[in-house]
Structure 1
Amino acid sequence: MNWLAHVFLSPPAEIDFQLGNLLADLVRGDERRGMSAQFLRGVQCHKAIDRYTDAHPVVLRSRARIGGEYRRFSGVLVDIFYDHLLATRWGAYAAVPLNRFTADFYTAVQRRGMPLPEQAQLTLGHILHNDLLGSYQHLTGVERALARLSAYLSRRWGREFALARSIAILRAQEQGFIADFIEFFPQLQEYVAREESGEG
């Protein structure tokens, strides 16, 4: 699962937990020293979500829908597309509209003013300024997310990536992804609830 799901699967109105769940991949090692206990709980929730998702047979079925040159990126492509499916089916899972959920989260982040490492702070600022969580409801938002990922991979590996073009595969397989997501996401919600209650 990607950014939107990680925030959504956090306890509502617990901003430090939400930030830890959102930014776990950007705040690492010694950078976590001094972060609040709630932030660190969010980090652990993020890790648990990733472990559960990566090993789930329905998610593996979704990944198998992506072939060719994009097969090696199937995990991250499914993560991002699942956020799109969550956003477009938001009313089935959330009690408040998506735009209100994101606006409340952004307001809470700004009020909290948590000190963060530079890269995490830059990413968080970009999320807020461009409403990246809300953007997942549109395919153009998915394409922009894939373009950002491509740019990051290009800088890291020194060669060009063009993951935004994979949108054609995602759209062609959309009905299959929808069926997978509808089966998977309630199970993920139940898993997170058990983990947070200590029953996991």
Structure 2
Amino acid sequence: MNFFAHLVLAEPTVESRVGNLLGDFARGVNQHSLTADVLQGLINHRRVDQFTDQHPQVLQMKRSFTTQRRRFAGIALDVLFDHYLLKHWSLYSKQPKQQVVNDLYRDLLAGQSMMPERMQQVTLRMIESDWFRAYETLDGVAYALERVAGRIRFGNNFGGVGEELALHYPQFETGFKQFLPDLIEQFSSPYIADGKADQTGG
């Protein structure tokens, strides 16, 4: 799962949201220096990632990628899952999406002092450029992944992965809708009441 989903699966506190996002920036961080709530958020992030990586629907989706891009399929799906969660938000939560996004951005600003420097830089760019709004379109997802590809420090074929997401978009969307209720059943969210999403809409 990517930034939006990890924040949605955090407790509605600054410390928990920082911790649940810290998993992507934790290299070199002294865990003993973290408060209990931030550390618990970090642990939750890692459990969510492990559950996601081992889920049968996710494993099936990864096999749909071409062999040259399969190594990075998990990264591509993480951002795509944020896209689907934002796109179908009204299926899973009664709380207004924009208000939720605003709350998340507000708490990330409030938690800057708890973050390592790189996380501060990324979250400020996230807020200033409104990444979650960008993730609502497939073009926005593809652009974000191109930026990831450009930061990989070794030769790779990850660039252009948006073409594969477009090719398999309906299949991946169906897989996401089958996967997410299992995730929510395993990990509570203050925004989603239970794992039984209303699949009749959207």
TM class, shorter-length: 0.7 to 0.9
Query: What TM-score do the two structures reach when normalised by structure 1?
Result: 0.86
- Alpha-carbon separation, structure 2, partners of 1:26 and 1:147: 20
How big is the shift at 1:51? Answer: 0.6
1:1-200 alignment, distance < 5 Å: 1-11=1-11, 13-153=12-152, 156-157=153-154, 159=155, 162-163=158-159, 165-193=160-188
User: Which string of whole-angstrom CA distances, capped at 9 and with x for unpartnered residues, describes residues 95-142 of structure 1?
Assistant: 222221111111223234433221111111111111113321112220
The structure whose residues are more often helix, as a share, is 1
Report the CA distance shift for 1:136/1:129 in structure 2 as closer, same or farther (over 3 A). Answer: same
Task: Give the aligned residue type for 1:98.
Answer: K
SS at match of 1:69: coil
User: Which string of whole-angstrom CA distances, capped at 9 and with x for unpartnered residues, describes residues 45-85 of structure 1?
Assistant: 00000110101111001111111421211111111111111
When structure 1 is superposed on structure 2, of 94-103 and 171-180 the one drifting more is 94-103
Structure 2: tracts of 5 or more residues without a match: 190-202
Equivalenced residue count is 189
Relative contact order (alpha carbons < 8 A, sep ≥ 6): 1 or 2 greater? Answer: 2
Report the CA distance shift for 1:162/1:55 in structure 2 as closer, same or farther (over 3 A). Answer: closer
Q: CA RMSD in A?
A: 1.9
Task: Give the aligned residue type for 2:75.
Answer: V
Structure 1: tracts of 5 or more residues without a match: 195-200
